[in-house]
Amino acid sequence: MHSSSGYGNGYHHQHQQHADKHFGPSLRDRARRGTRRGSGARSRDSRDGHGPSGGATVGLRVCEQQRPPTDFDMAYFHSYAHVGIHEEMIKDRVRTETYRAAIMQHQSSIAGKVVVDVGCGTGILSIFCAQAGAKRVYAVDASEIAVQANEVVKANNLSDIVIVLHGRVEDVQIDEEVDVIISEWMGYMLLYESMLGSVITARDRWLKPGGLILPSNATLYMAPITHSDRYSESIDFWRNVYGIDMSAMLPLAKQCAFEEPCVETITGENVLTWPHVVKHLDCYTISIHELETVTTRYKFKSMMRAPLHGFAFWFDVEFSGPAVSPTNNHTPSSHVDDNPLDGSQRKKRANPNEALVLSTAPEDPPTHWQQTLIYFYDPMEVEQDQLIEGSVTLSQSKENARFMNIHLEYASGGRSFVKELVMR
């Protein structure tokens, strides 16, 4: 970040080089489901000039050249200029208050330090960091929401601390190492939108050794579910419509209702087994390459007799420091039969001296992420203790890295199936 006159009002817009954020959720889906990400199209750009306070450039690491933005990227960034997306995320009290609590819990690592907010959106997390005593906060976002973020910063008299950079994290210049990276990067099913790549880029470019990343790690879970009400509302409805047999509509109804992943809220009563860990991500060590394909084998044992309608996916993120961050799992996680969500994670949430956890699990308070459901076209009846096994592979779409391809194999009771979907 440069300026011959210090930091000015903190808002710097280069030529619209590349808009930021690493995602690409489809606008069609966002309209259908209500928006998703709060840290919208993120990154901002910087000025040319001197280092902090007009001084010399400080320890800027060189990173390999990043790809230019695609048309999908530009559409994605444009979508995050809409206030509705940010309103939805900020009104998610579980999300926003957990981030504020994490910032205050780590205040000793933030006060007097330099922070980067990756995908700052309206700038609320940057302002929380300033309130926690940060010396300087670089608020980076590629969407035009950066203009409003800068106005919010000025209205709160924080322009001398919070510098809004309009551009991609891959493209903006910050001429000093930073102590803290904060970002709300999680998409539906954790990895949808691929924004974690921007956090990794910021980490590799600017984070000091021993620096803090919030959140520090994340875990994606899956479990088989039963949801007769949802199936009845979408499918069984057509069997008798005002006394007319419209069952000829069933194949089309199933395709329209269940061809793509669904973002919905379920409860713990819908879940048939303990969850399986699909992937654990350590934000201090994960590489961009590891995000291209995630695969795991699973084996569940149903805890009840019920129709199996599909699988649910949800995630947790934890706000801990680098010293206590768990080692990243560099290989596909092994299958788990009984891996309760309560145990150690509930203990962490209950003990204020331990790491905070933001959970989107069915039994926890609802968030705007809800859960991601993959429904079968036809349910399978399972008995208590019946095995349900198979594999799931999540991979970035070749068409658009912000989309996610899902390859699901499942078998139970001597029957096996394959389902392929695209989350777009």
Q: Which of 144, 170, 176, 193 is catalytic?
A: 193
Contacts of 123 (CB under 8 A, 6+ apart): 117, 139, 149, 150, 152, 153, 162, 164
DSSP H or E segment with residue 378: strand 371-382
SS3 192: coil
Interior/surface letters 316-352, b for 16+ CB within 10 angstroms, e for the rest? bbbbbbbeebeebbeeebebbeeeebeeebeebbeee
SS3 407: strand
Rg (CA), the chain: 22
Q: Is 363 a catalytic residue?
A: no
Dump the DSSP string for 344-368: HHHHHHH-TTS-EEEE--TTSPP-T
Q: Which of 144, 170, 176, 184 is catalytic?
A: 184
Among 392, 389, 373, 394, CA closest to 337: 389
Among 407, 400, 403, 401, CA closest to 421: 407
Q: 392 has which bridge partners?
A: 296, 408
SS3 2: coil
CB 115 within 8 A of CB 174: no
Among 421, 419, 423, CA closest to 411: 419
SS3 83: helix
Among 136, 222, 186, 179, CA closest to 322: 179
Q: Is 184 a catalytic residue?
A: yes
Among 256, 245, 235, CA closest to 307: 235
Map tokens 């419509």 to a residue: 241
Q: 293 has which bridge partners?
A: 395
* Tally of CB atoms within 10 A around 184: 28
Residues with active-site annotation: 184, 193
